Amino acid sequence: MTGKTLFITGASSGIGAATARMAVARGWRVGLFARREDRLRDLVRELGADNALALPGDVTQMADQQAALQRMTDAFGPLHAAFANAGRGLDAPGTEWGEVDEWQDMIRINILGLLFTAKAALPFLKETQGHLLLTGSAAGRIHIKGSVYGASKWFVHGYGGNLAEEMREWGGRCTVIAPGMVDTEFFDEAKPKAIRPDEVAGAALYALEAGDHAAVREVFLMPR
């Protein structure tokens, strides 16, 4: 049992919820941040109020994330890790047929929301020489015809490396968790051959629980 604390955005379903379940099973206490308060409260009931805290809010609002982190540390003590996991895709692929409003909404979540998580969490993580996880994607490691979504994940991979160097100066660590297709609500129908959310959660916990002298910069998972 670690007794450590983990803040997770996009925690109401998919990778975020799976990571919360696995972290609690391994002794972590978790702060669950997402817009869907009803789902967060259901997850807290499942995990136990001593282990999990519902933190409803909008990832695109810096003030929401700052307030959530303060609430979490007031309840659970020092922050040891944060997982910038919230993200969304696009209904209209490519550039020519892409919808500008969709691009703006995606960039607010996939890029600005992630930046806000990093900025809000770093002051807390500095106190513990803590760890920041970012959800990247296989789409951020390859070129996909016209993919604006893929470009948003290229940002995550580039920024993750830059942030790892910044955090290294004070003993912190940053890891990009980069899965291929994951069977979550991200897709309209089930993807039985895709990676399961709990498999991505396992990658996140692997990075978080690496030895004191190991910095796992990226975990890249693909369906078999």
- CB atoms under 10 Å from CB of 116, counted, come to 23
Q: State pLDDT tens for residues 54-94.
A: 999 999 999 999 999 999 999 999 999 999 999 999 988 88
Catalytic residue among 83, 124, 149, 159, which? 149
Q: Nearest Cα to 208, choosing from 14, 53, 49, 22?
A: 22
What mean pLDDT is predicted for residues 25-40? 97
Whether the CB-CB separation of 133 and 85 falls below 8 Å is answered with yes
Q: What is the share, in percent, of the chain residues with pLDDT greater than 90? A: 87
Q: Nearest Cα to 90, choosing from 102, 104, 77?
A: 102
Phi, psi of 30 (to 5 degrees): -125, 140
Entry pTM: 0.93
d(CA 120, CA 20): 20
Whether the CB-CB separation of 175 and 218 falls below 8 Å is answered with yes
Q: What is the DSSP track for 156-224?
A: HHHHHHHHHHHHHTTT-EEEEEEESSB-STTSSS--TTSBPHHHHHHHHHHHHTS-TT----EEEE---
Phi, psi of 163 (to 5 degrees): -70, -35
- pLDDT for the residue numbered 187: 55
Residue 202 Cα distances to 22, 23, 96, 118, 197, angstroms: 7, 9, 38, 22, 9
| pLDDT at residue 190 is higher than 60 | no
| pLDDT at residue 43 is higher than 80 | yes
Residue 56 Cα distances to 39, 79, 156, angstroms: 10, 18, 24
Burial (CB < 10 A; 0-12, 13-18, 19+), residue 2, is: middle
**Which tokens in the block code for residue 134?**
């970012």
- pLDDT for the residue numbered 185: 67
CA 32 to chain CA mean position, Å: 11
Domain ranges of the chain: 5-221
CATH of 5-221, one of 3.50.50.60, 3.40.50.720, 3.10.180.10, 3.30.460.80: 3.40.50.720
149 catalytic residue (yes or no) = yes
Q: Nearest Cα to 131, choosing from 176, 81, 87, 177?
A: 81
